[in-house]
Amino acid sequence: MILGILQARANSTRLPNKVLKPLLGAPMLARQIERLKRSARLDQLVVATSDQVDDLAIAALCAELDVPCYRGPLNDVLQRFHLAAQPFGPSQIVRLTGDCPLADPVLIDELIELHLTGGYDYSSNCWDPSYPDGLDAEILSAATLDLLAERAQSPAQREHVTYYIRQHADQFKIGTLSRTPSLAHLRWTVDEPADFELVEQIYHRLYPVQPAFTTEDILALLAREPQLTTLNTQHQRNEGLATSLAKEKHS
């Protein structure tokens, strides 16, 4: 059984309540869930949010969408993942984040296929990024998640669920999915107001014509309207992880 766990929280420091911001009349998180449900390989999707009062609205949205929701520690996201997975007894867990409303279900299925065929402990399309920031996906075996829950100790390892693997790559059999030419310079995640503006423009142009618009549709749009890609070029990939590591260094 392949379980997708979508981590989401409301108290983003850079763009508060971003996952609930209206995107063509529905919360951004609902738009992402709509796309993820098109995956042919995910057997179940669960949202993992925090047990803080700020995230009651996320739990309420999940109930409205009939999507299971697990509420756990705000900063120990690894524990939240581990506990969210247990009721389902999955063999594999796909890690997804709630700031990616352009998530690509076809790409997720390709990653799952690579992971299962290769018999990997962990696989991702962002180990050495070549896809747009915002299409990141990771998959790990249940045994690997158990190991992380036991061994990961630092705040960064607990908050950024798979960071222990990156620090101890020699302990795992790792699969990577990449593409040529690289599109890693494109930023489709939502962390800043400018990011949301870009995503909103993409949805306004593509969704009314084809709700199941693809990555190829987005790339074609950006080729026609290249000015859109300049809306959010001032921000860098993985700024959240960099912030966590800086805090550890100075603590």
All domains in the chain, ordered by first residue: 2-249 (3.90.550.10)
- Report pLDDT for 109: 99
Question: What confidence tier does 236 reach under pLDDT thresholds 50, 70, 90?
Answer: low
If one counts every other C-beta atom within 10 angstroms of the C-beta of residue 88, the result is 17
Question: What confidence tier does 69 reach under pLDDT thresholds 50, 70, 90?
Answer: very high
Q: Average pLDDT, stretch 2-14?
A: 93
If one counts every other C-beta atom within 10 angstroms of the C-beta of residue 211, the result is 13
Q: Which of 35-44, 176-185, 239-248 has the lowest mean pLDDT?
A: 239-248
Percent of the chain whose pLDDT exceeds 70 = 93
CA distance 39 to 105: 5
CA distance 9 to 236: 21
- Report pLDDT for 246: 46
Residues 6+ apart with CB under 8 A from 127: 166, 174, 176
Question: What confidence tier does 234 reach under pLDDT thresholds 50, 70, 90?
Answer: confident
Residue 245 burial by CB count (10 A; 0-12/13-18/19+): exposed, middle or buried? middle
Does position 238 have pLDDT exceeding 70, yes or no?
no
Does position 241 have pLDDT exceeding 60, yes or no?
no
Does position 244 have pLDDT exceeding 50, yes or no?
no
- Report pLDDT for 11: 84
CA distance 165 to 122: 8
The C-alpha angle 160, 118, 165, rounded to 5 degrees, equals 20
- Report pLDDT for 235: 64
Question: What confidence tier does 239 reach under pLDDT thresholds 50, 70, 90?
Answer: low
pLDDT tens-digit readout, 111-157 = 999 999 999 999 999 999 999 999 999 999 999 999 999 999 999 99
Q: What single DSSP character describes residue 67? A: -
Does position 10 have pLDDT exceeding 70, yes or no?
yes
pTM of the model: 0.92
- Report pLDDT for 248: 46
Residues found in the chain: 251
pLDDT tens-digit readout, 144-197 = 999 999 999 999 999 999 999 999 999 999 999 999 999 999 999 999 999 999
If one counts every other C-beta atom within 10 angstroms of the C-beta of residue 246, the result is 11
- Report pLDDT for 233: 84
Q: Average pLDDT, stretch 98-110?
A: 99
CA distance 245 to 222: 34
Does position 245 have pLDDT exceeding 90, yes or no?
no
Does position 88 have pLDDT exceeding 60, yes or no?
yes
- Tell which residue, 39, 49, 64, has the closest CA to residue 17: 49
Query: 193-206 and 215-224 are packed helices; what angle lies between their axes, rounded to 10 degrees?
Result: 100
Q: What single DSSP character describes residue 132? A: P
